Amino acid sequence: MTGSDLENMMKSLKRFTAIHSKGDFVLIDNLRAYAVTNAGADRNKRMEMLLESPHEIARRLVDDEEININQQDIGRLLGKGQATISRWLKNDMPVER
């Protein structure tokens, strides 16, 4: 992603927020809107991930070795609490027998 791409993404996010925000800002909603409107332009696994369910996004962020992000930050991104993220991830863990 180039500097120009980042600039265009930020302009798009600001525009979406100004038009659709009712005083609340949930980053994931804005990023999803960007991913949908630019689906053909920048097709990669991270853009596609934005269109998944919040639970799946959390799981994939934790599993991605290139991204160093904690549960609290994932919760902020998704508009959820850290406890919710922890519960989702705990439910995904295999049960040892």
Q: Give residue-wise pLDDT tens across range 25-70.
A: 778 888 888 888 776 665 677 778 888 899 999 999 999 888 889 9
Q: Which amino acid is at 91?
A: N
**pLDDT over 70, % of the chain:** 89
From CA 73, how far away is CA 79, in angstroms rounded?
10
Q: With bands split at pLDDT 50, 70 and 90, how would you rate the model's confidence at 75?
A: very high
pLDDT score, position 28: 84
The reply to whether the predicted model has a pTM over 0.75 is no
**pLDDT over 90, % of the chain:** 29
**What tokens appear for 44 in the block?**
């990669």
Kindly provide the b/e burial profile for residues 26-61, where b requires at least 16 CB atoms within 10 angstroms of the residue's own CB: eebbbbbbbbeeeeeeeeeeebebbeeebbebbbeb
